[in-house]
Structure 1
C-alpha cells in the first residue's frame, strides 16, 4: 500500500528547510562528540606501568620494560624519578625509595643510608660528560676506601643513560648498629681529578641525607642520586699537582725547599717523597750562618703551605709563621711538612688499634721511620735544633694522634706537641683511652708544651651530631687535665675550643697563630699564677 503525504505548499517548504538545516549540522555534531570523547580519554588517569629494571634503562623504558611485560612481570620502581619529598638539602638530587608496598599510614623512620644492613645504591650524573671507561668515576671515602682516590673495588659502572652507578654494602664500622657518618668525594682515579663545584672550586666532603626507611620494602636498597658539576682537569691551565712533583714551583709565602726521603710505613715502603721545608726570614743571611733554629715537624705536609688536590683549603702556616716572626711574637722557626703515603694514610697514622676498618695500625712503624729517616735527614740538610725543648711535632686528626704517639714514645726527641682535632671519639674510644692511660701517668717523661685544638662541631653541624661533638671536646679536656696532673704542673697543656668550627683545614688555619705561640712564644699568657 502506498501512502501519500498531502502537505500544503508553505508547510512543505518549512519542512524542507528543517531537513536541510539538520543535514548541515550533522557533521558539526559528530565533530563535537569526537572532541568530547578525546578530552575524556586525556583526563582519565591510567594506572602507570613501572619503569625499567636493569642498569642503564633510566626513565626511558626500552628493552627491559618490554621484556618484563612479555614475561608477565611488572617492572619495579627502583629507577623512578625522585619523589619531591625526598629531595635532599645537601646537593643530592633525590633519594629513590623503590616500589615496595608500604602502607600509607606508615610512620616515617628517618635513618642514615649507611646504617642499612642491605646497603644502598649511588647513581651519579656526570654533568660535564667527561668520565669514560678509560677515565671512570671512583668514590673515595672514610668508611670504604680509606680515602684512596682510585681503589678499583670502588669504581662506578657506566650506564646507558650516561650516568654512573655503584652498590655499596653496609660499612664494617656500622656492623655493631652504629658508626661514624660516611664522608666521601668522587674522583676519576686521583686527587688531581677530584670533583669540583660549578665555579671550579673544591667542594667539602659529601655526606648522605637521611631517608625514610618505612618506605622501603624488606631488603630493598634505596637509590640515592647525586651529580658532579666539573672535574679537576677542567681548571684553566691544569697541570699535575706541584705538591707531589719535584722541581715544580709552589705558590707559597717565603722560602720553601724540597727534601727527598724514602720508604715509610704502610703503603710507603719503597716510596720516594718530597718533604716541604719552610725556612724563616733571614735563614740565609750571612749573619745567621751559625745559628740553629727551633723546628716543627708536621704531618699531612702536602697542604700546610699550598692547597693540595683533594682538600678544600690549606693551613697557611707559611703566612701565619712569617707574620708572627716579623712581629716578634715567636722566634724564627723551621717548619717541615712530611707528606702522607696517600691511599694508606689512615693505617700509616693510626698509632693504636682503635679503628679496625683500617687494618693493623702502622703508626708505630711510621714513627720508627720518622726517627730513622726523616729527622736525621732534616738535621743534616738544615740548621735545626736537636734539643727537645725546641723540637715540636704535630698534625691534625690522625696526624695529631701519631704526633702525640711520637712525643710519648720518644720524649728525648720531641718536647713540643701541636695536636689539632685529636680523633679520640672516633672508632673505639676505649682503645684510645687505654693507650693514654698507659702513657700519660705520673713518673712518665711528658712534653714540655702541648697545644690541643678542637672544634665544637668536629663531626658535623647537624643536631644529631651534638652528642658526638660533645664527646670530642670532653675527651680533649680530659687529656689536657691528665697531662697537667700527671706532670705535676710541669707540662703546659693549652686547649682551645672553637665552638662553631668543624673538621677542616680552614679551622686549623684560624687557630694556627695560637698554636705557634703556645709552642714557641711567651708562655706566660697561658700559665696560671
Structure 2
C-alpha cells in the first residue's frame, strides 16, 4: 500500500514526514521519502487490508513537530485526537468525513470544521442520493473521548437503525460551534440580546443580531451548497432537516421556521425559556410544511425550560400541527440538560424524522 502526503500550500514544505499507523498494541512509524524537489512525500507499507487502517502524519519543520491528518483523505475516526482512516466497504459501517475549517464570507462567523456521516451503503451505490440532517454542535455528535461532555454516538446509532430497517439511509452533517456559539445560535432573539446587554454593558445588540443573521446565511448559503455539491444528496426541502440541543434547539427551530423552502424536518431537544416565546411571537410558521420533534427533560436546567417547551407544543398544535403525525413532543422524565441525556434520545428523533413505516 502506498501512502502519499502532500500539502497544497506551496509556501510550506516539511523537512521530514513520518507516517504513524495505529494498531491494537502499538504505533508503527515509517519515514516517508521526498519525491525529488517537490513537496510530495511517499512510502510503500506492507499492511493487512482485512481491517480498518487508522493513521496520521507527523511533520517536522523549523524544529517543530506537528501532527497532521491526511490532507488527501477526508475519512476520519473520532478518536482523541482525530485520526485519518482507510475502511473497507464490506465492513457494513458508515463513515465520517471531515471538511476542515470551512470559512465564511462574514467576518463575524469564524471558520470551523464540518463533519459528515455517510451511511454504510454510500460507496457501494454510486447512483443513489440521500436525505440530509444538519446538526448544530457537530463536535459533540460522535463517539469520542475528545468530546468535552461525551459524544452522542450518532454514527453508531444511525448504523444500527439503518441495519435494522428502522430508518432510511441518511447523511448527517455536524456543524461545529465556535466561541460565539450563543450569539450565532440565539442572536435573533430579542430576549438574548437584552440579556447580553444586561450581563455586559459593552455588548452591541446590533452586532449580536447580525452574527445570528450571518450564521443563518453560513448554514444555508455556504455549508448546504457545499454538501450538495460534494455528496449525493437529495437537496430539496422535502429531504432536508435541521436539529440541535439546548441553544442548538433554538437555532433548529429558527432555521426551520424561517426557511421552509430549505428544511422540512426539525429536531429540537431541551430548548425553551424566553427564546421559545420569541420564536412563537416572531417566527411561528403559518403553514404545516414541517415535521417537528420537540422534547425536554424535567431535571436541573431542563426543569426551568419545560414550561416554555410546553408552550411551544401548544402553539404548534394551535396552528394545526397534530401530535403523533407531524409533531412529536416528549417529556423525558428523569432527564437533565446534558449530552448523555440527549444521546439517549437520538434513536427517538431519527425514527420520527426518517423512520421507515412498518410493512415497507
How high is the TM-score relative to the length of structure 2? 0.66
Aligned length: 262
Q: Which has the higher strand share?
A: 2
- SS of 1:497's equivalent in the other structure is strand
Matched position secondary structure for 2:152: coil
Matched, 1:367 2:219: no
Aligned-pair CA distance for 1:311: 2.0
* 1:83-105, Cα deviation, whole Å (9 max, x unpaired): xxxxxxxxxxxxxxxxxxxxxxx
Structure 2 distance, partners of 1:481, 1:523, is: 27
Q: CA RMSD in A?
A: 2.7
Q: How far did residue 488 of structure 1 move?
A: 5.3
In the TM superposition, what is the alpha-carbon distance from 1:401 to its structure 2 partner? 0.8
The aligned residue for residue 511 of structure 1 is: 345
Structure 1 position 482 matched with structure 2 position 331? no
User: In the aligned structure 2, how far is the partner of 1:264 from the partner of 1:503?
Assistant: 33
Other-structure match for 2:30: none
Distance 1:310 1:322, change over 3 A: closer
Counterpart Cα distance in 2 of 1:240 and 1:293: 34
Q: Give the conservation status (yes or no) of the 8 Å contact 1:363–1:402.
A: no
Task: Output aligned runs, 1:316-331, within 5 Å.
Answer: 316-331=153-168
Pick from 165, 184, 188: which aligns with 1:348?
184
The 1:240/1:506 distance shift into structure 2, 3 A limit, reads farther
Equivalent position of 2:85 in the other structure: none
What is the 5 A alignment of 1:66-465? 249-251=77-79, 254-260=94-100, 261-263=102-104, 267-269=108-110, 271=111, 273-285=112-124, 288-307=125-144, 309=146, 311-341=148-178, 343-350=179-186, 351-355=188-192, 356-357=195-196, 359=203, 360-361=208-209, 362-422=211-271, 424-425=272-273, 429=274, 432-440=276-284, 444-459=286-301
Cα pair 1:265 1:348 within 8 Å, conserved: no
CA distance in 2, matches of 1:486, 1:320: 33
Cα 1:321–1:440 change in 2 (3 A) is same
The answer (yes or no) to whether the contact 2:76–2:96 under 8 Å persists in 1 is no
Residue 503 of structure 1 aligns to a residue whose secondary structure is coil
After superposition, the C-alpha distances for 1:123-173 in whole angstroms (9 at most, x for unaligned) are xxxxxxxxxxxxxxxxxxxxxxxxxxxxxxxxxxxxxxxxxxxxxxxxxxx
For 1:19-34, list aligned pairs within 5 A: none
Q: Match for residue 94 of structure 1? A: none
Closer, same or farther: CA 452–435 of 1 in aligned 2, 3 Å: closer
Q: 1:327 to 1:369 in 2, by over 3 A?
A: same
Cα offset for 1:487?
Answer: 3.2
Which secondary structure state, in structure 2, belongs to the residue aligned with residue 268 of structure 1? coil
Query: 1:432 deviation in Å?
Result: 3.8
**RCO higher in 1 or 2 (8 Å CA, sep ≥ 6)?**
2
Does structure 2 conserve the Cα–Cα contact (< 8 Å) formed by 1:295 and 1:334?
A: yes
Tell me the CA shift for residue 264 of structure 1. 6.6
Question: Is residue 297–residue 334 contact of structure 2 (8 Å, CA) maintained in 1?
Answer: yes
- Secondary structure at the aligned position of 1:453 is classed as strand
Question: Which residue in the other structure is 2:330 paired with?
Answer: 496
Q: 1:310 to 1:303 in 2, by over 3 A?
A: closer
Please say if residues 115 and 174 of structure 2, whose CA atoms lie closer than 8 Å, have aligned partners that are also in contact. Answer: yes
Contact 2:246–2:270 (8 Å) recurs in 1? yes
C-alpha distance in 2 between matches for 1:488 and 1:496: 15
In the other structure, the counterpart of 2:354 is 520
Shift of 1:266: 7.3
Partner secondary structure for residue 413 of structure 1: coil
Q: CA deviation at 1:523?
A: 6.7
Q: Tell me, in whole angstroms, the C-alpha distance in 2 between the residues paired with 1:413 and 1:432.
A: 21
Cα distance, 1:263 vs. partner?
1.7
Aligned to 1:20: none
TM-score (norm: length of structure 1): 0.46
**Equivalence for 1:35:** none
